[in-house]
Structure 1
Amino acid sequence: MVEELTQAEAAVAACVDAPAWALTEPDLVAALDTAHRLEQRLAAVQLALVRELDGRGTAQAQGASSTAVWLRERLRLTVSAARRLVDLASALDTGAPGVRAALAGGDITVEQARVIGDTVSTVHMAAGAEAADKAVGVLVGWAGQFEPTLLRKLGTRILDHVAPEVAEAAARAALEAEARRSDRDRHVTLSELSDGRLRLSGTLDAEAGGLLRAAIDPLTAPSGPDDARSPGQRRHDALADLCRLTLRTGELPEHGGEPAQIVVTTSFDTLARQLDAGTLDAGPRLTPETVRRLACDAAILPAVLGSAGQTLDVGRQRRLITGPLRRALVLRDRGCAFPGCDRPPRWCDAHHIHHWADGGNTSLPNAVLLCGHHHRHIHHSDWTVQLSGDGHPEFIPPAWLDPDQLPRRNHYHRRT
């Protein structure tokens, strides 16, 4: 087998550098079909090897806690991908030889094989081996027409075709099996990138997915006709807003004996003079503008260090706009005060008009409510904010936007 696979690898390697542009269109399509079929056949071989390694206990013999963990290190897979590989290898070996044969013949894909294996396992439990064998034939035939998602949906009614007498009970069993698979496969992975950003990936079960959509969808709408953010960027910002709101509730469990919070470390000179970056407690560094913006947020605690590195302030209550002062601010502004924004108070930060780092005090005349988007905008643009003669905030646009720089107000939150 090793010799045959080595020869196959050499043949594939020779194709990598072959000029695809030289092929006629029929040959190009034929080559694609062949490459796809070869991929599935190789997957069948890989699954057989995984099953044999798992059965021999090779992973444990080499010091790994499980075959999935061993595959993660050996093949550089995620744990969830490695676990799915082990599970599919076991399923095809023990309960669905017809599926393994279809995959080895290149007639179905790995994902289709996983769907068929799951469905056949449910049929076997509900109606026995004979019905399971019939189900394999039906599902493999359907796999020639339908991609995995639709194939799984069709599979929920497979017993109507192979064992109608138990179809209703089996449909209930299939639903329960799907719930078990959903529970098994749920995961969220946070991977820190080299530049300090975080990669978020995972699979949510139906309930968690519904909760996330219900919470995040209202925040993903464009903030106005000039909102140039992509849908993905809006979802990113909505998730950040959701986290800010959750931190602000104070209902999260303690973490390491402290309330859940972000700590930004910087020197006082850095903060006051906008010199250097700050550092999150998790390690990533932030720009001076971001540090100054976070210093306004009552949900985020700045650790301000003096010239000798001693701690001068870690979230002084006299600086944070909380309690009665925040309630008074909410009564005055009613929501994000930036012109044209309709975000409610619960999504807003309390921003110091005269920055705390520049000597500004914590008082109602020196505060304004801003949503996360406009809080960032104020800190990173030429807009300015001031209180008018009647004590309400007004915003001065930059000269490039309005040469006359006429003050603007938010009219969404005005009392009727």
Structure 2
Amino acid sequence: MGEQFNTPRRAGSELLAAITALRDVDRTSLSNEQALELLCDIETAARIVAAISVASVIDVSDRGIPDEAGAGTVKKLLMQTLRLSHAEAGARVAAAKSLGSWHALDGSPREPELPHTAIALADGAISADHARRIAQEMKRIPALTPIAERQAAEEILSDFARTSIPDDIPKVGAEIRAHLDPDGTLTDDHDRQRMRGITIGRQRADGMSPITGEITPTLRALLDPLVAKHARPGMNNPDDPGAPGIVNGNTVIGDTTTNRDALAAAARRDRRSAAQRTHDALLAILHPDNTGQHWGTHRGVPVSTILTMNVADVEKAAGVATTATGGTVPMSEALELAQTSRPFLAVFDHAGAPLHFGLTKRFATREQRMALIATLRGCSRPGCDAPASLCATHHVRDYAKDGPTDITNETLACDACHALIHDGPGGWKTVAMDQHSQYPGRTAWIAPAHIDPTATPKINHRHHAAELLTHALNRIHDRRERERQRHQKRIHRHHPPRITVGSEDNPARIGDISLDTC
């Protein structure tokens, strides 16, 4: 046992020693690949430690240590002993409740509330953030949902999390709830109105005020396009007297494309965070000099709420409408907004591709851009979550290479991803998927050789929750099929099939499979 962790205390000491040694490693001697491998190993280890921490929190609770220490609750004990914040201590207790194996009154262990998620965390395949998002989605599933369906939902989410980022989990969760509750009896408008609210906290001595709350889908849909325009880098920057916008009296708030050079120069000077830009955008929107008719255009489309509705959902007055900023609005509220809107009719084929708008000029029309918004919903580069409101129209086959300004040759790309497309070393390429592919007409991106040596065209599924769910289900199906085949091989290896030839009334059997003899 000399080299083994023969006691928990020894194990903890060995862990601290290993981490301390790793801290002192000379990283300058590592290659780029080794540095990346080390980063991945550290992350995996941190995730496994998080799973061990869950078990430790449960052990502390079972022993009654919080009462002995005078803390009263596990949460207060963690705050006092580990010097955690109120929020972090609460998060760890919540993780223990959903991922830990607690004990019944008779001392027998109980399975975790989220067993598949607990296994994935213990494997180091997902992070604590993944687990929190999964727990949040599971809480939104109706209590009357059958146990088997709840278990299946948790398995899908945990399996999906193994290969995706936490930000995409709510999308798959929403798609699962739509399948579990196709009639829309989940959170209704009454619940949303009950939860709505914005709290502006007490003004501090420094003059600042905290703000928290939850806003309804309708308010979000109305605010998003305004913020998308006024919070662009370079817009409404109070630290830049020459910035376009309202806050400095530079009321250049119409079509920003007519001030492209000025905005680009201001964006290069902009050092604000995204949160600071949002603050300054709201200040501009609420400024007395600003009124609705002066909001102008954003990327060629009037600054307005763009809603995309499915005809079947409109007929049923159920489901949701999607916005250009990636949000959703309940159909009942969307129809109310549509009563005073200027409608734009976009018709799509069976594959979801918009109608052809053939033009010879370089820049896409407003109608083409709105069709792309309705179809793609956001940046088309795989992994990017930028909504349509932050994207430019991109020629799949470059305009300089005789690429037409047709809807079939256009896609959406955010500014950062758009800059990755070039013919030089490290440049990305875009191609249109042909009619025989799984996603005909969609734009696929080809990563440079140092990222993907196989140059495999890939589609972005992040703006299409149904596709994310389908991929998660396919992975689970493939895994179960492999497990079934391995199980069959084990059975045949330990119990070779016995062949018995029978009569017409007593057919032959091979294992559990019945065969009629000739």
TM-score normalised by the chain length of structure 2:
0.37
- Kindly name which structure, 1 or 2, has the bigger radius of gyration based on alpha carbons: 1
Say which structure is richer in helix.
Answer: 1
